[in-house]
Structure 1
Amino acid sequence: MLVESIIVAIIASFYLGFEDKKFSLKKTLKYYGIIAIVGTVLIYVYLYLFTPAFVGVLGGYYIVAAIPILIISALYIFTGKSNNSDNIEIGIQALKIIAVIGIFIYLLATPILDNQKLHDIPQVKVYNNISQGSNFAPIDAQNMRIVDQSMAYYLGNKVIGSSEQNLGSQFEVKQNDFTIQNVNGRLYWVAPLEFRGIFKWWSAKTSPGFIMVDAEDPSAPAKLYTGYKMKYMTSSFLGDYVIRHLYSNGYQNVELKDINFEVTDKLQPRWVVSLTTPSVLNSGDVVKGIAVIDPENGDITEYSLGNAPEWVDRVMPEELARNYLSWYGKYIHGWLNSVITEKDVNVVSSGDMWLIHGNNGQAYWFAGMTSSSSKDQSLTSIALVNSRDGTVNLYRMNGWNEQAVMDAVNVTVSNFKNYHSSAPIPYDCSGRLAYVVPIAASSENGEIFQEIGIVDAITGHVSLGNTKAIAFEGYRRYLNENGYNFAITSSRAIGNITGIVNRISGIISANNLDYRLIYLNNSNIIFEIPISQYPEAALTNIGDTVNMTYEDTRDSVITVDSFNNSGIDVRISAEQQNYTRMRTNQTVY
């Protein structure tokens, strides 16, 4: 960078050395000295403070070219040079024109001239519905993500305040510091203890640890892990600022994006920073890989795309995932169509994307896609952007988008003061999309968990419960009542039991559904049988032998997935026959 500064200074000083069309060596040397010294200092200050990436058009050097140009302009103003030479005046006007053209190219040329390249960057696989190649996690009464970021922030602050080390006087956690992560097969919100300002950083020198909040159990207390000496943090200053540390160690020629705090499966703290470069002029960013920084000793390990360690959840930045979907949906028929007729144009339906974890344990950026109309709250498709390799799975479907789902939940809980929905998390229900929506109450101290809503993405029906099991069961009943596929796929075991009826209830009516409760002589579970699905349950008596399959949710009362009384021969529907065949292909315990 010093060489470039000297070259600019030589050219500029030589040009300024002309006065009344005569060259003055004295003035040339004078201006060279000023521009070389001031320009070099300002450039290095700029690089140190703002860590710009030298990528894209002209290698990114246009970023710092403005500094010597500003110095030259200031010299014109303070020396009155612009009034003494027509050539200089013409030069100034030429610089203005070049600057305007450069800004136009930087801001507009990429989408206008290279929109097809932007559209083709995402590797998109299109499916007709979520049952085809689905990567959504199966809905499960045990493993639902029901703690959102705001609730994690509330729980995290509580554990800091109650710590015996009085950490709150020097350290803090902010809501956006919490990132969702899969640690040893369970979801947690993880956040580092950051310095509360420059003076706290100066006195403490290092951060002692981090906080983990269980994302699946709102009653679980947050856990504080200390004993670490983390020097390189986002709240550190000077060379301890983690991005500046990375930048000063050879990472000037990539864009440093989406810095996240993660822990390994052995609870070792790490910073994960995405490394991206533009592929189309100054746009069309693609992920080159990640840099993993040890916050204690500053060691940097770089991984190329596709080779990140298994514990890393975020390689693809949220901003880039959104851009991928935007480019794919917006430029389907070119730039002109995207701003005039908007034929087949789709946009991301919500202001935020949520990181979810699929059935293969990998993380995905989730978003609904809808038409370009600002009033449209219906879906045209839903997208999962793999956060490790950037591939996009697009599932065609009609239904409610994320905002409409949240609105439906808010209406359902409107009678409760300060209750409101949180970010909906999508799950696969035998090829049917369902959203799990945490419901919180706002208080002076933060967001406190209250209930769970499960929302059907097709109809918008809301099933509420103050526990996962109750909400889950309500959704099952809704599907049974309305004749939908009631077999909810789960990571839990599928039970199969044959026994003699020991006790049986009368016909019970609830939520417009008739059912009977049955207790067998060889089980400690009370089974609930929907009569609309299995009419022979209405004729079943004590002493009858029955066979049932069910999803083992570990609850005391479980709704069956199939029911058969061996003493009653009843013709079953085609739907039940298909379901029986499906269950036959699954492992039964």
Structure 2
Amino acid sequence: MIRMVIFSFLLGIFFINWYPPIWKKKFRTRRFITTQIIRYILGSLYAFILLYFHLLDQTFLALFYWIGSIFFLVIIIDGIRCLAAYENERRIPIAMIGVNIGSIALISFIFLWTIYPFAIAQDRHDFMKKFVKTKETTENMSPTNEQHIPVVPREYARYKMEKILGKVKNYSYYDLEEPYIQKINNRLYWIAALNHKSFFKWLNTDGVPGYMKMSAEDHQSEAQFVAHSIKYVPSGYFSENLIRLARTKYPDLIFMQPSFEPDENGKPYYALSYGSYHKMRNIRSVEGVILIDPANGQMKKYPMKQVPSFVDQVVPHDIAYDYNYWFGKYKHGFWNSILGKTDVHVPPEEFVAVFDHRLHMYWATDHTRDEENAGSMVGYSMLNSRTGELNYYSKTNGMINGTTAMNVVEKTFREKQWHGASPILYYIYGQYTWIVPALDSNNVIRKIVLVNAKDEKVIGHGDSKQEAFDQYQYAISTNFNGDSATPTPNAKLAQTKGKVTAVYKNQQADETYVQFLIEGNNHIFTMSSKNNPYIIFLETGHEVDLRYIETKQTIVATKQVKNLTLKK
């Protein structure tokens, strides 16, 4: 705080008249001195607003950007007035020099604000090669741990949290922050911090009482309020503002978005990312986080490689978007991104947080052609939220994108007027698959839908994740019987023989689904008559030889069945 005040008084000097001839001529006039005092006070006030309220980093380049343009404008105006005051004298070379220098500097600022950001388009892409580890590959994505696939969309989590918020003491004083997925004790949760609604409601509180938490893996779970005394939050005022607290200790660091990060015991922390600017503050790189205990304000700075393991988000969402955008848009420079558009692809603005089979968090999104209403992907990217490493999977080229997957869900449930939300691409059973929750008009989740990215007609849905996955196995075995796709390590193609001990048949529309048990095997095998018309004749006691998708689950999809008894 004291440093900010001192800086403000020093910066106020740049707002007064800098021409000695004017001072020499008007120094003894009250009006001139009063004007300079007012200008100094206004300049100091402007600097204080930048430093204390805008929380500008106290670096030369930041102050040059925000103060320099006004300083050179003042130099031009005062220089012109000096020329006017001495129009009949020859004591004005300094005024001419000042006006010329100020004009050149002001034109330079205008160039930096308008043209320069586009002129460095190629530099943005080259920055990715130099500072961000990028990898383009035709390999498949890593297989997914089905147990930890988030099926609860943000809209539904927020809906459930809003209901719980009404039970919190003085609930009208607080708003929900945007929920984000976090990993806690190897489970995925939607986490939302509380914010102060307004300045006057902040005055009547002593911090916020806790945060909201809801499982991202089980849509039948309920949201919970986790009670914790939290004093410093981004929505706080004066000394209780989280960013201002950090700025007081680290005045010259470049701050980025803070992330609310409970540890494995549920104790809340804020991870405030910091880094550097490049190319005149047009490109940002992340270097680590400042971990802040919001209960007492204690903080510690961690370089990226030393960030505690419970922190999932080191690279903020907006940085991940910038990296993806530059990577796809500016491969061949700015003019190609506008005219030829060779190799140009762009991500949507909405990113989702996904977790791989090791429960490492990534910012994931599809890339499409830079065209309106593009319905297919040209690639899919996953950016590690702790390291910033970006993997781009070009093997998804030609598959449907997330928007099309949501349209498939909407068409499937058109009569019920449900819509899709938060599509996430996973590699399941050897197939690229969009997982899209179906919501009603109140954002209540109604179905979990799996849409095949290669063929949108292949879908599975259910009231639970297990039911949706089982139906999707049916769809794969029915529609991709001759497909050459290789199942993932979590979905191997297996073979077995045995005697049928039980059979269940279910007629649906123009096909029959058959489920059966084999002696000495715990699996429930499933097959559709659309895939094998002879399956409807299967009876208890028949000997069968079959190939099925081994997923380590109870119910598995069968790709081929040979009835050894009927020889069919």
SS of residue in 1 equivalent to 2:386: coil
Q: Quick check: 2:15–2:40 contact (8 Å CA) kept in 1?
A: no
Alignment of 1:261-276 (within 5 A): 261-276=260-275
Kept in 1, the 8 Å contact 2:431–2:487? The answer is: no
AA aligned opposite 1:403: T
Q: Tell me, in whole angstroms, the C-alpha distance in 2 between the residues paired with 1:539 and 1:219.
A: 38
Distance verdict in 2 for CA 1:116–1:517, change over 3 Å = same
Kindly indicate whether the alpha-carbon contact (under 8 Å) linking 1:424 and 1:435 is maintained by their aligned counterparts in 2.
yes
SS in 2 for 1:398: coil
The Cα shift of 1:185 comes to 1.4
C-alpha displacement of 1:298: 0.6
For 1:168 and 1:495, locate their aligned partners in 2 and report how far apart those are by CA, in whole Å.
55
Q: Gaps spanning 5+ residues in structure 1: where?
A: 571-589
Structure 2 residue 462 is the aligned partner of structure 1 residue 465:
yes
Which residue is equivalent to 2:344? 345
Q: Which has the higher contact order (CA 8 A, sep 6+)?
A: 1
- The percentage of counterpart residues that share the same residue type is 22
Taking a change above 3 Å as real, the CA distance of residues 516 and 440 of structure 1, as seen in their structure-2 partners, is: closer
User: Matches of residues 103-502 of structure 1 in structure 2 within 5 Å?
Assistant: 103-113=110-120, 115-116=122-123, 118-121=125-128, 122-129=132-139, 131=140, 134-135=141-142, 137-138=144-145, 140=146, 142-161=147-166, 163=167, 166-174=169-177, 176=178, 178-226=179-227, 228-250=228-250, 252-348=251-347, 350-396=348-394, 397-417=397-417, 419-443=418-442, 447-461=443-457, 462-483=459-480, 484=483, 489=488, 500-502=499-501
Contact 1:275–1:289 at 8 Å: present in 2 too? yes
- Separation in structure 1 between the aligned mates of residue 452 and residue 313 of structure 2, nearest angstrom: 28
Where 2:115 maps in the other structure, the secondary structure is helix
The AA in structure 2 aligned to 1:373 is E
Map 1:44-123 → 2, pairs under 5 A:
44-54=48-58, 58=61, 60-66=63-69, 83-85=84-86, 88=95, 91-92=98-99, 95-113=102-120, 115-116=122-123, 118-121=125-128, 122-123=132-133
Q: Name the TM-score, length of structure 2 as normaliser.
A: 0.85
Structure 1 497/312 Cα, relative in aligned 2: closer, same or farther at 3 Å? farther
Q: What is the root-mean-square deviation in Å for CA atoms of aligned residues? A: 3.5
Mapped to 2, the partners of 1:170 and 1:492 lie a distance apart of: 50
Corresponding residue for 1:18? 22
CA distance in 2, matches of 1:431, 1:503: 29
Distance 1:51 1:314 in 2: 22
CA–CA distance in structure 2, aligned partners of residues 420 and 215 of structure 1? 19
Q: 1:169 to 1:58 in 2, by over 3 A?
A: closer
**Distance in 2 separating the partners of 1:8 and 1:167:** 43
Q: Residues 375 and 526 (structure 1 numbering): CA distance in 2 closer, same or farther, change over 3 Å?
A: closer
CA contact (8 A) 2:73 2:106 kept: no
Three-state SS of the structure 1 residue aligned to 2:382 is: strand
Q: TM-score, normalised by structure 1?
A: 0.82
Shift of 1:14: 4.0
How much has 1:318 moved relative to structure 2? 1.5
Contact 2:346 2:367 in 1 (8 A): yes
Q: State the 1:522 CA deviation.
A: 4.9
Structure 1 pair 336–44 and aligned structure 2 pair: CA distance change class (3 A): same
Contact 2:174 2:194 in 1 (8 A): yes
One-letter amino acid of the counterpart of residue 366, structure 1: A
Letter matched to residue 230 of structure 1: I
In 1, the alpha carbon distance for the partners of 2:213 and 2:15 equals 57
Count of residues paired in the alignment:
547
Give the Cα–Cα distance (whole angstroms) in 1 for the partners of residues 56 and 143 of structure 2.
38
Q: Which amino acid aligns with 1:48?
A: Y
1:182 aligns to what SS in structure 2?
strand
- Letter of the 2:134 counterpart: V
Show CA shifts across 1:65-101 (max 9, x none).
3455677788899xx7674346558845753442232
Q: Helix, strand or coil: the match of 1:260?
A: strand
Matches of 2:376 and 2:463, distance apart in 1: 28
Tell me how far apart the structure 1 counterparts of residues 169 and 36 of structure 2 sit (CA, whole Å). 56
Q: Secondary structure at the match of 1:152?
A: helix
For 1:186 and 1:3, the matched residues in 2 are separated by 47
* 455 and 505 in structure 1: CA distance in 2 versus 1, 3 angstrom threshold: closer
Partners of 2:376 and 2:530 in 1: CA distance = 31
Q: Is the 8 A contact 1:486 1:561 kept in 2?
A: no
> Where does structure 2 lack aligned partners over 5 or more consecutive residues?
none
Q: Secondary structure of the residue that 2:526 maps to in structure 1?
A: strand
